[in-house]
Structure 1
């Protein structure tokens, strides 16, 4: 299995990792995968203070030393596409996906518009460490259409029409058609373009009446520094927009419409903690630039550990994702994943894909493995971005190995740049954790690797109390700690 984007092939994907669950029954849903050696514990920016540069040790990084360092070479990992579809799957900086792989493969940014004049649009690529998922972006340049052949039928056929016109038919509440009709007016297609002309298309949805739109970070990343952003509603009305804040680690961003219209109707946010495997899902987005597309499926799994890279080799995103088989393709990134009642339960962010792309764009399509950021986490991140303009991450204050593992998250002997692996006075230090300890559970969630631990910690907020189960010298121990915080991505 492999993923491709913008003509750059992504390395073959190994089997997906198991879902961390603490029961034999649940383990049947697990997938096996290799975890890309990368950075550190779920601390956002750098080790000690935001903005402090950090050079990481291959296979590890300090908890507070976010973002993670470039991954060392190793076995190829399965890339995941960011749902918005411009950049496409690939290796950050041409160095390869975490854990190794073919160099030069980009990942999940907005879908690049094929055959479009001017600078080539496209950037980004999503690679999952535990499960490498590709970000899906979107945008379609030129016309994609179809022709209905007219049959010259002289045989005099007779047609029978229904007495009820399609437009007069009343859809009952709770039907897919009714949910789509209610949600579509509050969903937008986002066009992001950098000052150099690079960019792509993604999706977003109305968060509040003030004109804030929630989407993926990788959808708007090209327009963060002096770029151009527009948001188009299904009605055809287009508004200029600006980035209010973006969280690279969470892969969440908030933009705001300029001269926002009155009467905006925010989508109702559901409770992603209450979602169950088998629940119906509805996804809205702009796959391959086809705006306002509605697809359906179910929740295939919960708490799926997925890691991604921004394509630079220096930063990664982690999520404990909702998995769905609703069709998600490049261009869907940032769009809402709804439940059967029309409540937002997640933000479509990545897919695992295989194939040769569509229309010569080299961007692969859906194979029924889509991943969404749970809305409970995304809501918290969006509120922080609106309030402060910067993300706030929870952390334990320890450097963990991101090398392939199924045994747990091991606290490294050395932190990034030779720093201490356990932050002095941090949560892990206060709890008595030491280098060499292997964390196997966070509360009741089984931890099989460093990336899984990061994704799980980031589902919490700073100040939350969690129970850590770890192994030391062959003995299992348990300790409670209070999560610390880190502000910003860099």
Structure 2
């Protein structure tokens, strides 16, 4: 009996001195066993049938017992040649990773030099035409975070050129009428501060610029005058903060006059001669591109129609807003025209036909004053269409005129003394005045 107690005591001492099983350090606790669910080979665990409950105990003949867990080989000593090589390798890798991370952080925090690390061009090409188009387009789309007046908002932007100019919506950079601090996140995930070059409330457009950034890939711009109803389109943005989200649909209508906001709205009052699409657009898509099938930008996603008839939030920034298939984009021809003015002089001058309109009149746009010299229009004329697009009130006409080229001509259908006339009105440029009904 004494000998048996002595043997049992020796076995207990061996079990007490043995290290704890490796899986005890797993985040899920000691009951988590490494097996197929973690992607590795199943690990044998000692069963209750083992002679003494010790899975590591060697068999009497010196071989490992069947089903027992084998201990991993010990790591080489740090002082050995192999150990020194491992230490040197770890130090080099850590230095490289730390240096790259430091550059990215410094670029975001101090506005220093930043090089964008785009995906390797040697990677396998996407298999479908749509995927290939998006592969080329995504580097030209950026995502914006704006801190203004103690509030944080988000939106999307488009790279205009390799000089760092970015086109977006005015209501993105000044959600409450006041500009804030803007941080740009590129498609690579790298971040950098941006400066506001200029903004225009009437067109709801703004231009930003990032400096000290190389490796930029500007977007490719199309011709919105040639957009046709029914053609396929895609929208890219960050709906509800989900960057790089792609949605698709068709062009539902063109020359859709849209007035967003109100005269007393903090975000301003905008007149848009918009492209309408059923491609889902949600909060966070504002300022992002509407693309045709070839991947060229044909519009700037700006406004959505809410299902709430009492909603006063045309920009869809309310957390309860969402796509119901009625989204609107500023045609890219109008957007780039305004962008060029903002870059050149910091302000925009919209097209005008030199008249003042009666905002309270229904059934057309009634002219109350004529300012342009040599105009064929007269006080009392009621404009019912512009270039064949129906005009129901003053806001419709202002929006349609804002979408025209500033040096062009628009053909107006006018009611005068009971007769319907077609009158050509020459477009000129004038200062933006969003508080009046000038067109």
Residue 226 (structure 1) shift: 6.1
State how far apart, in whole Å, the 2-side matches of 1:403 and 1:216 are.
29
Aligned CA distance change for structure 1 residues 217 and 489 (closer, same or farther; 3 Å): farther
Residue 316 (structure 1) shift: 1.6
Residue 289 (structure 1) shift: 1.3
State how far apart, in whole Å, the 2-side matches of 1:453 and 1:226 are.
29
Kindly indicate whether the alpha-carbon contact (under 8 Å) linking 1:192 and 1:223 is maintained by their aligned counterparts in 2.
no
Residue 225 (structure 1) shift: 5.5
The structure having more radius of gyration, on CA atoms, is: 2
TM value normalised by structure 1: 0.58
1:388 aligns with 2:345: yes
Unaligned runs of 5+ in 1: 1-153, 157-166, 413-420
Kindly indicate whether the alpha-carbon contact (under 8 Å) linking 1:252 and 1:382 is maintained by their aligned counterparts in 2.
yes
SS of the residue corresponding to residue 204 of structure 1 reads strand
Q: Give the number of aligned pairs.
A: 309
Flag the structure with higher helix content: 2
State how far apart, in whole Å, the 2-side matches of 1:486 and 1:453 are.
16
1:400 aligns with 2:344: no
Per mean C-alpha deviation after superposition, the further-off stretch among 250-259 and 454-463 is: 454-463
TM value normalised by structure 2: 0.65
Over the aligned positions, Cα root-mean-square deviation in angstroms equals 2.8
1:267 aligns with 2:219: yes
* Other-structure match for 2:370: 422
Of 295, 316, 334 in structure 2, the residue corresponding to residue 377 of structure 1 is: 334
Kindly indicate whether the alpha-carbon contact (under 8 Å) linking 1:400 and 1:409 is maintained by their aligned counterparts in 2.
yes
Kindly indicate whether the alpha-carbon contact (under 8 Å) linking 1:323 and 1:371 is maintained by their aligned counterparts in 2.
yes
Aligned CA distance change for structure 1 residues 240 and 168 (closer, same or farther; 3 Å): closer
Task: Map 1:144-155 to 2 at 5 A.
Answer: none
Task: Map 1:266-415 to 2 at 5 A.
Answer: 266-309=218-261, 312-313=264-265, 315-354=268-307, 362-403=319-360, 405=362, 407-412=363-368
Kindly indicate whether the alpha-carbon contact (under 8 Å) linking 1:248 and 1:489 is maintained by their aligned counterparts in 2.
no
State how far apart, in whole Å, the 1-side matches of 2:270 and 2:160 are.
22
State how far apart, in whole Å, the 2-side matches of 1:465 and 1:341 are.
30
Residue 488 (structure 1) shift: 4.2
Residue 181 (structure 1) shift: 1.6
Residue 468 (structure 1) shift: 2.5
* Other-structure match for 2:161: 208
Unaligned runs of 5+ in 2: 1-34, 38-121, 435-439
* Other-structure match for 1:45: none
Kindly indicate whether the alpha-carbon contact (under 8 Å) linking 1:438 and 1:472 is maintained by their aligned counterparts in 2.
yes
Residue 389 (structure 1) shift: 0.8
* Other-structure match for 2:425: 481
1:447 aligns with 2:391: yes
SS of the residue corresponding to residue 399 of structure 1 reads strand
**CA offsets per residue over residues 34-88 of structure 1, 9 Å max, x none?**
xxxxxxxxxxxxxxxxxxxxxxxxxxxxxxxxxxxxxxxxxxxxxxxxxxxxxxx
Aligned CA distance change for structure 1 residues 310 and 233 (closer, same or farther; 3 Å): farther
Residue 345 (structure 1) shift: 0.5
State how far apart, in whole Å, the 2-side matches of 1:404 and 1:475 are.
18
Residue 402 (structure 1) shift: 3.1
Residue 222 (structure 1) shift: 4.5
